[in-house]
Structures are given as structure tokens and as C-alpha cells.
Amino acid sequence: MNLDLQFTPITLSDRCEALRGEVRDFLDEQRREGVIPETLRKVGMEYSADFSRRLGARGWLGWRWPKAYGGSEGTALERYVITEELLAAGAPVRAHWVSDRQSGPVLLTFGTEDQRQKYLPGVAAGECFFCIGLSEPNSGSDLVSLQTRAEKIDGGYRITGTKLWTSNAHRAHYMLALFRTSKATADDRRAGLSQFIVDLDTPGIKVRPVVNLAGEHDFNEVHFDGVEIPDDCLVGEAGMGWRQVSAELAYERSGPERWLSTFHVLARLVETLGTDVSDETRREIGELFVELLTLRRMSLSVAGTLEAGQPPTVQAAVVKELGTRFEQRIPRVAHKLLCDCPDFEDQDSIARELLEHAILWSPAFTIRGGTTEILRGIIARGLGLR
Ligand SMILES: Cc1cc2nc3c(=O)[nH]c(=O)nc-3n(C[C@H](O)[C@H](O)[C@H](O)COP(=O)(O)OP(=O)(O)OC[C@H]3O[C@@H](n4cnc5c(N)ncnc54)[C@H](O)[C@@H]3O)c2cc1C
């Protein structure tokens, strides 16, 4: 067994802490302007294209990218600080989140020069939004079994099939999608998949809402009925999409959004309970904070690995596996402790609303971005156990 899975302790530089101060000042200003609510009643990220543009204007999107593409040439740890502050404040970051976190970096690594110039400055300005088209009605964890095909035609590709659970497809401009361009080979099921940028205004695309447990329209079913896209929409090499997507998923799995989703429930819980609590309650809250701080150190370490230019695939899977189960535990503990509070139902309607929303959203935490079971498989392989 290979136990050499390192989480190196990171000390943030003075520059990082100064940046944190700048982001906090900006967020205070946004709160005063009413862009961020003083009191949060929902967990997760709200959608505001206007707020994304404001962040873009500050240079806080595409933070690590070259200035030639609208970036700021900052570091992974500085980016970590920005995202942590935005999430801790409950800022409405949904519009740009996947474009900034993964679509942009994929284009930077695998895209052509024309693609970088065409899309990245818009993403960095908070004006161009992507969604992720991976899952399909019969393919989620076993993504290589996907059926949507992009058939080569003169000057481009014709796409036929259906993507499912596509978050924000109804609001994004583009989808970064994985399609089958040729058959898998006998010895490699992963061969023959390719990544494409699809303009969601292309004729033949139908986006249908899928309403989630909380009654919200957040993800969709997206139908492609013989949709024709030009050759220059192919990202990277035809048939090499699996390798590119694997790199993309590592960006998706380790950030503070994988353990901060219900942080506000914890903060509100502490506020509502006050200091006059039993030893048992103190212990339960204390345990949650210990886990929070540990996850933060691990997530920081992954940012440090990215900074060093190394692939953090296994470490990222560990952070998501632990982090998302932690996010689910907070509403469970909060529910138990608050229901024991006299008059909770009447007195703290905000805590109740927030908790209800967290309970309805929390099953998604261990599914989106790769399920817990799949992450455990990746970790086992990383440890040399498979
Ligand atoms: C809120 C939310 C947002 C999402 N947004 C997007 C998006 O924007 N774009 C996108 O492409 N997808 C998105 N998804 C889809 C998500 O990636 C898939 O739901 C996920 O990968 C699981 O696939 P599935 O739903 O098909 O479940 P399945 O793969 O069918 O899994 C069902 C169950 O079986 C288990 N299982 C499957 N295979 C194995 C195995 N080999 N070993 C052990 N257990 C296994 C799984 O862990 C799970 O518990 C989103 C999902 C959610 C919940």
C-alpha cells in the first residue's frame, strides 16, 4: 500500500492576507449596497451575473491566468483566499463559478490560441458563462458509457443525444461538453471521447428544467437534435477527451465549496444556541469546528500542490469525500440541537428557513462532482489498493 499521500501544511503569505482584507472590504461594500444579503436564508451559491461582473472588474476571476487573456497572473493560494472569502460571505458566485474554476483552466491547457482569445477574456470579465455537459440519462459515474455522439461532417460535427443534470444550462452561454466521436477500442473504453465548446443558442438545442428537491430550477436536461457545430469547437485532440476531463475534475473537487456549503448553518446554530448549553452540545459543536479547521488545512494543501504545478487528483478526492460528508452532517446536528431548543419554531424563523434549505440540498453534496463511492475508488487506486 502506498501511504505517501501528502497534505503539506501551508502558511499563507502576507500578500495573501492583504488580499483577504481587500476581498473582505469589497464584500462589506456589497453588503451595504444590498448585493449580498445581511442575513442568509439559503445555503449554496446564488446566481447574479451582475455580481460576477463586479468581481471581474476587480480582477478576481481568471486570477491565475496570463494577463493576455484577461487574467491577473496570481497564485493558486491567492485564488484560494478569494474563493474562501466569497463563500464564507455567502456571495452570489454561481454565474461564473464553473467557468472560472474549470472551463477556463481547461481551455487554457488544451484549447487553441483562437479559443483562448475568444472565450477567456469574457470569463475573466464575468461576462461569459459556461456549464458542464458530462452526465447523461444512463451515464453518470460510469461516464465513459455516454451515448451522445458528435459525428464528423463537412466543416464540423453533428451532435445527437441528451445531457442530464446540467447545472445552469438555462443561463449559461456555452457548454463544455463531452461527446463520443468514435467507438471505444477493445482494450480502451475511454478512447473515442472528445470535448467541445457548444454555443447554447445553436439551433436544435432544447433546454428543459429539472426541478430539484428544494423546488428550484438549478439543473436541466439538454437535448441535441442533429445540432451542427463548426470544427473550431473541438477542444484539444479528438478522442482524448477523457484525459482532459479527468484533469478538469481535479479542479472541481478540492476547493472550499466542498466543505463550506452549510457553514452558515453552523454559524447560525452557534448564534441561536448562545453560550448557555450543555457539555454534550459543546462537544458536538466543538467536533464540527475541529473538522472544519482540518478540512481547511487539507484544502489549502491541495491549493499548494496546484501552485507547485502537480496534479492533486487523489488529495482532491480525499477532501471532497470528507468535506461533503461534513457538509451533510452540519444540518443533521443542527436539526437535533435546535429541535431540543424551547420555542425554536417560534423564535428563530431565519435559522429554521436556513436549516430547511440545507436539509433539502444536502443529499446533492455527495453526488455532484463525483459520488462518494467513486471518490473512494480513486483514493483506493491512489493508495495502490486497486
Ligand atoms: C446538484 C447536482 C448538480 C449537478 N450538476 C451537473 C452538471 O452541471 N453537469 C453534469 O454533467 N452533471 C451534473 N451532475 C450529475 C452528477 O455528476 C451525477 O449525478 C453523478 O456523477 C452520479 O451519476 P448518476 O446520477 O448517474 O448516478 P449513478 O452513477 O447511477 O450512481 C448511483 C449510485 O451508485 C453508486 N455507484 C455507481 N458506480 C459505482 C461503482 N463503480 N462502485 C460503487 N458504487 C457505485 C454511486 O456512488 C451512487 O450512489 C449534478 C448532480 C447534482 C446532484
Give the pLDDT confidence of 86-130 residue by residue, as tens digits.
999 999 999 999 999 999 999 999 999 999 999 999 999 999 999
List beta partners, residue 222.
Answer: 163, 207
pLDDT score at 55? 98
At residue 349, the 3 state secondary structure works out as: helix
Measure 169 CA to ligand 1 centroid, in angstroms.
Answer: 17
**In the structure, which protein residues have their CB atom closer than 6 angstroms to any atom of ligand 1?**
131-135, 140-141, 165-167, 219, 364, 367-368, 370-371, 373-374
Helix pair 279-307, 76-88: axis angle to 10 deg: 150
Least Cα distance to 326 among 300, 357, 289, 281 occurs for 289
**What pLDDT does residue 20 have?**
98
Examine domains 132-240 and 254-382 and report if their fold is the same.
Answer: no
Look up the CATH number of domain 254-382.
1.20.140.10
Q: Which CATH number fits domain 132-240: 1.10.3430.10, 2.40.110.10, 2.60.40.420, 3.40.50.300?
A: 2.40.110.10
The SS3 of residue 172 is coil
- Give the length of the chain: 386
Q: Give domain limits for the chain.
A: 14-128, 132-240, 254-382
Q: Distance, CA 171 to ligand 1 centroid (Å)?
A: 22
State whether residue 22 is helix, strand or coil: helix
Neighbouring-strand partners of residue 157: 152, 229
Position 312 scores a pLDDT of 85
How confident is the model at residue 339, as a pLDDT?
A: 81
Q: What is the pLDDT of residues 215-228, one digit of tens each?
A: 999 999 999 999 99
Ligand 1 center from residue 133 Cα (angstroms): 13
Considering only CA atoms, which residue is closest to atom 2 of ligand 1?
368
Nearest to 297 by CA among 321, 315, 278: 315
* DSSP conformational letter for 102: I
pTM score: 0.96
Q: Which fold has domain 14-128?
A: Butyryl-Coa Dehydrogenase, subunit A; domain 1 (1.10.540)
Q: Which residues fall within 8 angstroms of residue 226, CB to CB, at 6 or more apart?
A: 158, 159, 160, 204
- The answer to whether 256 touches 321, Cβ cutoff 8 Å, is no
For residue range 325-379, list pLDDT tens digits in order. Answer: 999 999 999 999 988 776 666 667 888 899 999 999 999 999 999 999 999 999 9
Place of cell 484539444: 236
